[in-house]
Chains A and B, each alone.
Chain A
């Protein structure tokens, strides 16, 4: 089944404890992206990747890191999480930049930072 998977689905952590949220797609997609969703603010793009080893900042990159060493994986790293990073996070992928109108989203990761 074609899908985008995220792990973990739920995470409660404390301020300053480094964490990684994994994202994997099995569709051989070139483009991948991370979003956070907050009430009243909608989806905001954190980082995106056009292909392996090619990443760039979205609208709200502060406090996050990403890497794209393999085509299928695009982990999101929070090196020192803070309470304002409490949010619902979505990973998404599309076939290529040219087909970017259709992004396939993962099921989401709900992160709480205390």
Chain B
């Protein structure tokens, strides 16, 4: 069983839609949760970081962590064509080893 599961998509939405991206994980020791965005032919870049359970909001982006269900989510409000990218969830127990999901490819149509 993979440590982190993520639906690969692709997910296609119209501009302005609310997007929900999700990951599940199996290791209850994970306590640090991150979302990275990767544009085509580029390296990933950090989008959101959350420690333990709870919500975190940054502009149009909200990250949620539910440790009891081993489930994390990223919501994008008012999605824009520039949000079209692959979104990778990542998690770690203590910031030495990292486990990434396979990524969800998002396409926001104008």
A-B contact count (CB 8 A): 65
With a CB–CB cut-off of 8 A, which chain B residues contact A58? 97-98
> Contact partner of A97 among B49, B88, B95, CB < 8 A?
B95
Contact at B98–A45, with CB atoms within 8 Å?
yes
Assess whether B97 is in contact with A108, with CB atoms less than 8 Å apart.
no
Is B100's CB under 8 angstroms from A101's CB? Answer: no
Given contacts A40-B8, A40-B102, A101-B32, contact A107 B42 (CB under 8 A): yes
Residues of chain A lying within 8 A (CB to CB) of residue B34 = 101
Task: Please give the number of chain A residues whose Cβ is less than 8 angstroms from any Cβ of chain B in the complex.
Answer: 30
Q: Tell whether A59 is near chain B: CB-to-CB under 8 Å.
A: yes
Of A4, A42, A98, A101, which one neighbours B102 at CB under 8 angstroms?
Answer: A42
Q: Size of chain B's interface in residues, with CB distance under 8 A? A: 25
Residue of B8, B32, B92, B100 touching A44 (CB-CB under 8 A): B100
Shortest distance between the CB of B7 and any CB in chain A (Å)? 12
Whether the pair A42, B103 counts as a contact (CB closer than 8 A) is yes
Instruction: Scan A21-47; emit 1 where CB is below 8 A from any B CB, else 0.
Output: 000000000010101000011111100
Contact of A100 among B88, B96, B101 (CB under 8 A): B96
- Evaluate contact between A42 and B95: CB separation under 8 angstroms: no
Contact A41 B102 (CB under 8 A): yes
Asked if residues A98 and B97 are in contact (CB atoms below 8 Å), the reply is: no
B46 touches A56 (CB 8 A): no
Contact A43 B92 (CB under 8 A): no
A/B interface sample: 5 pairs, CB < 8 A: A43-B98, A43-B100, A50-B96, A101-B95, A103-B46
